[in-house]
Structure 1
Amino acid sequence: METKGTSPSTGPDDSNVSENELPIPPSEAKKWVHMDKVDLEKLKWMTDMPKPKPLKNNEGFVARFNFEGDILPYDADVSYREALHHHGEEPGRAGYTLDELFILIRSKVLQQRHIGLRTLANILRNAKEGLYDTAVNPPIIQLVVEAGVVLLLRFALDESSHHVYGEAVRGLYYLIASEPDERCLAMVQPWAPAGLEPGVSSNIHASEKSRKELDEEEKELKDIEVIKLDIIRALIRMDTHIRLRYILETVKPNPDTVIYTLGIMTRIVRHSLTAAWKVVQTPRLLSVILENFLPHNLSPLLTGENVSSMSSVYGVPLKQALHLLRVLAARGRQLAAVLVNTHDVMGRILTYVSLEPSEVAIPLQEALSLSQEAYAMWATLLAYGLSKAEEAIANFYPLIVKQLVFYRDKVPINEETEKNKFNYDVGAQLINSLTRALNVAASQTLLSSRMKLNQGTVIGASGKAEVLPPPSLSWDDLSDIPQLIETCLKKWLVQLERTGQTSFSALRLLGSCCSFLEAYYLKWKDQSSYSGEKCNQKLQKLHDEVILPFLNSTCFSNLVSSPP
């Protein structure tokens, strides 16, 4: 690998070193005990380090990294005390090349394997953050994959030392996963239709023809050949998910390794429906995650201690674990049904959403983030029409109303926006869940009438129309919700119009209110309680008193021209 330029630099100057440059004359060294045979090559390493050869204009050079993964300047003046000089091809240059790091990772010395893996993980992290985009050609991720990094990391996962397998997990996470992508996907929630999550498969898996060809030929291919075609598929083939389950279940690693492991699992699930089913069908994997990282007991989070500062996260509810299950559920209705019916995910969701916003202030961000993920998953389960998710709305209706009252009375949208960020995020997901519940409840009247007439509503596996049973949730069960959300929208739009101060999270909360009211007024006309005159009056009032003044305000113009 070279930094951008024309050609790599050559090795160090191998010219002979005169005796005057040596720390002691060889004749003197022979007088010492066990120094009767003098090794001139070793004595040369006790002399001053040679300076790198000057580079020509626009000439490239082999990149060398420090232990944090930073590329060192070609002629960087680094003290030997930094331990970055070694017996490599360029002894005058500090740092390690990728090839030299790979040699360290294969070493029989534990400390060298640890240093090599730690540095490599830092390099992969920096590469994912784009720090090398304008400096290195070809891209580092491409280089390390072609050089066999996947196999190196997979073998390192089998090590017994936590120094080694921990860095291997971190390196694998930064190789295949992307935290910025997950954050961006979280930001578009709850606007994604029906809670859908995008798949992130390889080019060969995205093509049905190529996928079928690989299915037929995979048994004859070696692991390294499958890696070149599809890294995630190769990792599953090498039982990476099973090894990670063993680490979580038996080894019980530190918090960082647990979180990186959950991130790797999430990336595997995003790959394809096939990969998602592999995770679900892995014996004890989901049970280990649920029992250890999604318990019903929330007391560890109520201490105010951040997850990153805990010595162990076993027994602590983790938002990353719930995020993994949400992505898993979004892959298909059958997968979601397995989580609900076999693993009692709904019970855990209700535990996490039962936290009142006033009880989880900013120092308890983990608890608020957990509530946000719980509502997001609840919305996904409601989109599939799963009965337990519908029944939970009715059972927790008083709590839901209480939380909406809190937002109506206590949460401003134009004051202390940073302090209220997590309240905004939780509120957006809460209202999104209610929007899904409203869509479910709106279908009850239609499905009930068709059920009485025995009219089919869907085409079953036999090709015949089948009758869907009506949901347990009715339109009247949500009678208090529309007025509360409409009041919140009015309050927040007026506040926003007055000051113009807001944030992205606050606007996302506003958008959730608008989405709910849109669904409400569209679905209302199909209900027995519908009154055309009353509906038109309410819409006209909302438009004239709230929406139109806001659209004509300077605040709206500023938001359109310069969104937060």
Structure 2
Amino acid sequence: MERIRPRAADLNEVDDDDLIDWPPAACVVRGKAPAVSSASTATPDPLPPRPRPLLGSIRERDTPPENADAARPGGGKPLSAFRRARMQRSDPPKPPAPAPDAPLPLQDPTRDPGGGAGPEAVSTLLADIAQDNERKIAHMSYADREEELRDAEAFFGKDLLAKLAQRRAQPQAARGWPELERLSIDDAPIPSAATPPPAPTNDTGDELERLRATYFPDEPPTVPAPLAWTVEAPTVPDSEAQPRFDFHGRVISRPNDVYTEAPDATYLAGLHHHGQNPTAPGYTLEELWHWSRSHVASQRCMALAVLQRIATTYPLDRAADSDVHRMLNADACAVRARLLFTARYLLDDRHRSVARAAAECLAAACQSVSSVGTQVLLASEAPVAADPTLDWHAPHLDATDVHARPPSFHAPDASHLELLQHDWVDGLRTTHLFDALERHLADPDAPTAPVCEILCAMALHTSAAAQDLCARPTLVPVLVAHGATRSTWPLAKTPWPQSDALLALLRMVQVSKTCAAALVVQGALDPVLRYIILPPQDLLAPQAASYAHHEHVLATIALRIYAALGRYGLNSTSVREFQSSLPTWGAWAARIWPQLGDDDVRWYTMHALFDLLHVWTCAAIQGPAHGDLGANWPAVQGWHTYSLAVLSQRGSSSSLALVTQGCAAAHLATWYEAAQRFSLPADTAAMQQIAQALHTKWASMASMDMTAYAPRMAAQTDAATVQTATINLSRMARAWRAFLALAHATASTELATLAHAQLLAILRLPLRELCSAARAADSLVTAHRTCIVASCWGIHGTEALLRQLLALGPEEPTLAAQALPNMVAPAGPTVWAILAPFFLDNVRAPKGRASLVAALQNKAPLDTLQVQRPEPLAVDTDPRTGEELWQSRAAGLPLRIDWPLLAIDDLLHSGEAHVFNVRDGLPADWDWSEADVVQATLDVGLYVAEQHVIPSAYLWLAMIKIFLLELAPPAHPAATGAATGRDLYAWPPVATRLERLMAVADAPSQDHTLLLDEAAAHVLSPNMPLYQLYTDVLGLYESISMHHPLFARVLLPPLAMAYEADYRRLFWREYAMLLPGIRVGVDEAPCVRGARLDAYLWPCESDKDVLLAYAHALAQGRVSPAQPLLYAIAVHHTSAALWHDEGDWGIAPLPGVQALLARTVLTAPPFGLCAPPRG
């Protein structure tokens, strides 16, 4: 029993009657017992009470021991504690002692009429009642509930029921510490009947927070994660919860709805889950991951089915802006990587139903993250293939920076999810996916369609997966079956052959000559011949559009496969097999050519047909690979009639028509050269007429401005537009290269001139921007860019050769290393010997790697039709300090635009540069000084700059770095590199070349669109901005320049109004003492954005600090008419600020600045403008 201690004053005359045992209910109503009053009900004594002692006298009361009256059992033995406690529980409880007469407190109206019931008991009672009501409602029929609802509406009213329903639907409070009932220390006054009870307050949470901040400041304001189990979780999730998906994989529009109005009583026993919110419809991804790990096979199948539909409904689309796409693509597509891993993990499940569901889910997941376009005709058009960049971090890189690379990745330390994010195909390969698929196919009842989709996705994305697939005799037949043998041909009924399976076989052929030979040996390509031997039905008779489209798709890919084999010289016996069907194909092409529209699917078939004729004609001239009589000159010498029939007709002017005629022209040129070689009769006049007809037809298209394609290839353009522009340019480049070959064969000067001009115009486009890591995510862009370079490579002319070098992508280091000596040789006899280590270290061509561009031009053996992935540059360290050796962020291919001047960067970092400190970086006989390197660099820079291929901003930036060579101490005192020289800019050979380079940089024909800061962002490291570089060069000019005129000119470009005011503020205010020595004329002002003086005057200056610096320079005589450029700048901007019209000067009035300028300039004799000029 809990006892209430009496007051201290009452202890003076304590009596047993005052010690009352109160019932427990009286102690919990308000957290304390009622007040005790033993005074009589008579009128109180008016005398003042006796003084109370601070502490009452303490008296010891004898308390009888518990169970003192309990009878001992027979024998008189004492009871054990266990038996005594048991007897206490069995005895009826004693009634409480009667309470003395005292005024009862007013009962709380919120309690039950009996009084004394605690809040916990009331809450329990209400909860029991609510649960009982829910059970009754659940077992009521729909009609009974409707009747009860009508009765309630008639009794309470619709408004009250609506408010009650609205209060029920409100979410609970945020999760936090449970509310604790605090006990008051002071006695509360006895409420009377006239005094209403105090209204309940809502500041309990604030009081608890105040106590926590006062006594427990180190405790967090919310429940820590380890103690989350101590509080009740909210039943309704907040608005930040994950989206919920239905069984179709779609997001539920109202995920917080609780379906309690179901028309039957079985809704609680239906489909629901045991997540945090089991009454909400649908599933979150976390709940689906949970179900995928269930011990019940059917639950795993359900989770996989929903995940499969989610992947199909929301594929990887960077342009999509929905909440679900953002959630799936967040953190470098971490959710998609987890989906792939879950499906791959369950593919090895011991339950066949789960394994089949996992195969379908994995196929859908692979298709959802595929970066290969769904249009198989576009995917098979290019003669070469490329691997897309599958690193999901790469799309976040800057597309304008061709040298931007994703963060370094160390595969041995990565998890499976990180491997999938870096390269999902390679990540699946590391899990031995092909072995799992072979085990899956061991089940004869297992469906093969998902396996085919997985194999297609793997083979179309990486050459390594396609190469591994060629060595799997169990998996290759799956592609052959779904691509050819499972369906009838010509098409009669569904299912139709899968074009993706044929496209995967084409990729396997393009990977390497070895893989193609393996497929030929396995006989995997023989069934594909039926699409050529038996042409599509519409070649002979009209056909339904759907049938004709699919038949032409299959025939096009089959022609591409055998064209690729012809480029390798493999399977030449197939020529004899489709020889009989070629007249049908040729007659169809000649008949249908004038009738085709611009986007007709039959253009692709015709293009593939003439490409096949051209390839096998070249193979026949070179001789059969196997010594048989398949591809030889007698077999192909009559094929030229097919090309003549097409080239002699006029038709569409689309890019597809252009590239198709280009293939026909290439075939005709090859045949004509072979006929002349074998001394066979050929109609030369007819050939020349064909060349003249081509010139006449396509000259109008050539008159179009090629620069219209430049904006479509810019970095800000979306990926789809860039892909379309690249494919069109590739078609044009291949066609004009074929026309150039026909012009050379027929000695047609007009066609040769036109074709050369068109190819040079294509080279002038920003092809380098297609080499960025962001663009490499599209394999079609990389493949067609390689075709453009291969088509334009080898055309004559200095500008053409230089632009070809700049267009080389990161996959062509061997060709770049071979071309660089020829590019540098015209600059001087010893230039290459001096600069070769710098250029070759920048390219770093691996040994034994062939060039695909050279192989496509028959200048090297063709071992692959696959664009090889670039290998990252090796990271080397200094042998003495152990620090990582420096290399330019623009190292590698594509070459930086200012590649002739790249040796200056190595000189600036000579103490830590890679070329100076790596083993065998310099040849043993290399012994040149820094002055020799600078002089040779300027010679190459002048030669290349005169061809107008380097923007002027890069030239000025290089000249600034030449002056910075005067202060290039090594970054580490113990570094290996040698010290640099001094006063190079004043050495006459260098000074003469600098002056010539400045004149070339300011030439009107030069490209002046870029600013220095934009050029610096491409070649300098991020921790070295242009402002820091400009600060260094100003300090160097102040210390050593002696006001050298060339040194002074390189300080001027950042003073133009196109730059930020920080540069002008630094020059005119912080380094004002330098102004008197800079005497540059107006005609010597460096060009900025194509303007000289106007670039420094307009728009007018609006920065207050710069304007005051101008005024002080004029008032103090630091700038005078003897300095024409600086004087014109200061006077112009000061006058604009003092006397200006907003319409003419372009700036708003500056009243406060005007007053300061007036006091500075007009009232400061003898230095003011009003003072007479000094003698």
* Aligned position for 1:320: 500
* Aligned position for 2:665: 518
- Residue correspondence of structure 1 range 154-553 to structure 2 within 5 A: 154-159=344-349, 163-177=353-367, 181-183=371-373, 186-188=376-378, 191-192=381-382, 194-200=383-389, 202=391, 214=411, 217=412, 223=416, 226-227=419-420, 229-254=422-447, 258-290=448-480, 292-293=481-482, 299=488, 302-307=491-496, 317-340=497-520, 342-358=521-537, 361-364=544-547, 366-386=550-570, 388=571, 390-409=572-591, 413-414=595-596, 423-441=602-620, 443-444=621-622, 473-474=631-632, 477-488=635-646, 491=649, 493=651, 496=652, 507=654, 510-524=657-671, 526-527=673-674, 528=676, 529=680, 534-544=686-696, 546-547=697-698
* Aligned position for 1:120: 307
Give, as a single letter, the amino acid of the residue that structure 2 aligns with 1:427.
Answer: M
Distance in 1 between residues matched to 2:561 and 2:334, nearest whole Å: 38
Asked whether the 8 Å contact 2:359–2:451 carries over to 1, the reply is yes
Secondary structure at 1:128's aligned position in 2?
coil
* Aligned position for 1:65: 245
1:326: how far off?
1.1
Deviation per CA, 1:93-128: give whole Å up to 9, x if none: 322111001111112223322221111112222331
- Rg larger in 1 or in 2? 2
Asked whether the 8 Å contact 1:201–1:272 carries over to 2, the reply is no
Deviation per CA, 1:397-440: give whole Å up to 9, x if none: 2312212212333576457x99xx55444333323322322343
Secondary structure at 1:526's aligned position in 2?
helix
1:180: how far off?
6.9
1:233: how far off?
2.9
1:336: how far off?
0.8
Distance in 1 between residues matched to 2:259 and 2:604, nearest whole Å: 48
Secondary structure at 2:573's aligned position in 1?
helix
Distance in 1 between residues matched to 2:692 and 2:136, nearest whole Å: 104
Distance in 2 between residues matched to 1:319 and 1:266, nearest whole Å: 10
Find the partner of 2:131 among 22, 30, 36: 22
Secondary structure at 1:396's aligned position in 2?
helix
Asked whether the 8 Å contact 1:126–1:132 carries over to 2, the reply is no
Give, as a single letter, the amino acid of the residue that structure 2 aligns with 1:345.
Answer: A
* Aligned position for 1:12: none
1:55: how far off?
12
Find the partner of 2:288 among 75, 95, 101: 101
Asked whether the 8 Å contact 1:84–1:96 carries over to 2, the reply is no
1:72: how far off?
2.3
Give, as a single letter, the amino acid of the residue that structure 2 aligns with 1:144.
Answer: V
1:261: how far off?
2.1
Asked whether the 8 Å contact 1:408–1:487 carries over to 2, the reply is yes
* Aligned position for 1:133: 321
1:190: how far off?
5.4
Asked whether the 8 Å contact 1:169–1:260 carries over to 2, the reply is yes
Secondary structure at 1:68's aligned position in 2?
coil
Distance in 2 between residues matched to 1:61 and 1:98, nearest whole Å: 11
1:346: how far off?
4.0
- For the structure 1 residues 368 and 518, does the alpha-carbon distance in structure 2 shift closer, same or farther, using more than 3 Å as the test? closer
Distance in 2 between residues matched to 1:345 and 1:320, nearest whole Å: 15
- For the structure 1 residues 52 and 149, does the alpha-carbon distance in structure 2 shift closer, same or farther, using more than 3 Å as the test? farther
1:137: how far off?
7.6
1:354: how far off?
1.9
Root-mean-square deviation (CA, aligned residues, Å) is 4.7
TM-score by length of 2: 0.35
- For the structure 1 residues 179 and 107, does the alpha-carbon distance in structure 2 shift closer, same or farther, using more than 3 Å as the test? closer
When the two structures are aligned, how many residues end up with a matched partner? 466
Asked whether the 8 Å contact 1:349–1:378 carries over to 2, the reply is no
- For the structure 1 residues 407 and 228, does the alpha-carbon distance in structure 2 shift closer, same or farther, using more than 3 Å as the test? closer
Deviation per CA, 1:212-270: give whole Å up to 9, x if none: x74xx48xx7656654654333322322112223333534444xxx3432232133234
Deviation per CA, 1:324-378: give whole Å up to 9, x if none: 21111111111111111x2123422222222232267445355443323211211
Distance in 2 between residues matched to 1:91 and 1:70, nearest whole Å: 19
Distance in 2 between residues matched to 1:283 and 1:242, nearest whole Å: 12
Give, as a single letter, the amino acid of the residue that structure 2 aligns with 1:473.
Answer: A
Give, as a single letter, the amino acid of the residue that structure 2 aligns with 1:430.
Answer: L
Asked whether the 8 Å contact 1:52–1:92 carries over to 2, the reply is no
- Structure with more relative contact order (C-alpha pairs < 8 Å, separation 6 or more): 1
* Aligned position for 1:41: none
- For the structure 1 residues 252 and 531, does the alpha-carbon distance in structure 2 shift closer, same or farther, using more than 3 Å as the test? same
Distance in 1 between residues matched to 2:594 and 2:291, nearest whole Å: 56
1:135: how far off?
1.2
Give, as a single letter, the amino acid of the residue that structure 2 aligns with 1:167.
Answer: A
- For the structure 1 residues 469 and 26, does the alpha-carbon distance in structure 2 shift closer, same or farther, using more than 3 Å as the test? closer
Give, as a single letter, the amino acid of the residue that structure 2 aligns with 1:539.
Answer: A
Q: Tell me which protein shows more helix as a share of its residues.
A: 1
Asked whether the 8 Å contact 1:379–1:432 carries over to 2, the reply is yes
Distance in 1 between residues matched to 2:336 and 2:694, nearest whole Å: 57
- For the structure 1 residues 344 and 512, does the alpha-carbon distance in structure 2 shift closer, same or farther, using more than 3 Å as the test? farther
1:549: how far off?
7.1
Distance in 2 between residues matched to 1:358 and 1:156, nearest whole Å: 44
Asked whether the 8 Å contact 1:204–1:230 carries over to 2, the reply is no
Find the partner of 2:298 among 111, 123, 126: 111
Distance in 2 between residues matched to 1:376 and 1:356, nearest whole Å: 14
Deviation per CA, 1:123-182: give whole Å up to 9, x if none: 222331549633148541523256x43442123212365653333223323333458743
- Residue correspondence of structure 1 range 35-50 to structure 2 within 5 A: none
Asked whether the 8 Å contact 2:244–2:281 carries over to 1, the reply is yes
Asked whether the 8 Å contact 2:376–2:503 carries over to 1, the reply is no
Distance in 2 between residues matched to 1:203 and 1:26, nearest whole Å: 52
1:381: how far off?
1.3
TM-score by length of 1: 0.67
Asked whether the 8 Å contact 2:376–2:500 carries over to 1, the reply is no
Distance in 1 between residues matched to 2:557 and 2:607, nearest whole Å: 11
Distance in 1 between residues matched to 2:422 and 2:561, nearest whole Å: 33
Runs of 5+ consecutive residues of structure 2 not aligned to the other structure:
1-122, 139-164, 175-237, 395-404, 713-720, 729-1175
Distance in 1 between residues matched to 2:253 and 2:535, nearest whole Å: 53
Asked whether the 8 Å contact 2:259–2:280 carries over to 1, the reply is no
